[in-house]
Amino acid sequence: MQQAFADYEFHKVYHTLHNLCVTDLSAFYLDITKDRLYADAAGGTARRSAQTVLWQALLVLLTDMAPILSFTAEEAFLALPEALRPDLKTVFALRHQPLDPGLAPAERERWNTILALRAEASKAVEPLRQAGQVGHSLTTRLTLFAPEPVRKALDGFSAAELEELFIVSQVDLAPTEQAPEGAFVSTDMDGVAVAVDAAHGGKCERCWKFTKELGSAGPADLCPRCAAVLKDLA
């Protein structure tokens, strides 16, 4: 980015920022964190973590866009609540800070596998959506059939985190050889297949996720997470 500015190649700056906003943020990070931002408790750790990431991302975006989208960047900076705005009067006082991606090669490869698997899951759901068999993806349950190295990439994710990652109500993992006839078979990832079924349980009227635990912690139409959030707000 900074080299593109130094070389007056502003089209590279524009394309880099546009790709970040459209691909990395809108189509991925904002998509998977939408549930926790909307439905988690206001002071919940996961929600506050996402807010912190978005705040940091915004400051980086404003810093990088200010030289070429000056008025837009300034308006966005001044619209920030004072508590979230650095002790500066203008966006042009922000200084570019070199960013350390913080990912070892093995971890980067792991995330490439995760993103590829997520893309395959989307390919499995989309034809059903277009055919009218599936509405929102939260009405579905995914079973991911994959070789052990691919499944290992998802080690460490809780059930709730997998559901958030794939934006479905339930996710199961199984070896490739257990894939049933009729499952979506990936042409881009060897040994990966995806089965899409109706989610188990009832629909939470607050977060729209389906769960077998509906009504178990309070009102009959709420999941335990939403029931706890509303109880704290009462």
Do 110 and 64 lie in a common domain? no
Do 85 and 109 lie in a common domain? no
Do 168 and 86 lie in a common domain? no
- Please indicate, yes or no, if residue 152 is contained in any of the structural domains: yes
pLDDT value for 105: 87
- Cα separation, 28 vs 32, in Å, equals 6
Burial class for 183, CB neighbours closer than 10 Å (0-12, 13-18, 19+): middle
pLDDT value for 3: 87
- Please indicate, yes or no, if residue 133 is contained in any of the structural domains: yes
Percent helix, strand and coil across the chain, each to the nearest 5:
55, 10, 35
Residue 133 belongs to a domain with what CATH number? 3.30.2320.20
pLDDT value for 218: 87
pLDDT value for 148: 96
Do 139 and 86 lie in a common domain? no
pLDDT value for 83: 86
Residue 171's DSSP bridge partners are 142
Residue 51 belongs to a domain with what CATH number? 1.10.730.10
pLDDT value for 101: 67
3-state secondary structure of 24: helix
- Please indicate, yes or no, if residue 121 is contained in any of the structural domains: yes
Tokens of 8: 């007056």
Last residue of a domain, one of 65, 93, 121: 93
How many domains, in total, are found in the chain?
Answer: 2
For residue 184, the enclosing domain spans 105-200
Do 6 and 85 lie in a common domain? yes
For residue 14, CA distances in Å to 50, 64, 137, 232 come to 25, 10, 32, 44
Question: One digit per residue, pLDDT tens: the chain, 234 residues?
Answer: 788 888 999 999 999 999 999 999 999 999 999 999 999 999 999 999 999 999 999 999 999 999 999 999 999 999 999 888 888 899 999 888 776 667 788 999 999 999 999 999 999 999 999 999 998 999 999 999 999 999 999 999 999 999 999 999 999 999 999 999 999 999 999 999 999 999 999 999 999 999 999 999 989 999 999 999 999 998
pTM for the predicted model, two decimal places = 0.88
- Please indicate, yes or no, if residue 222 is contained in any of the structural domains: no
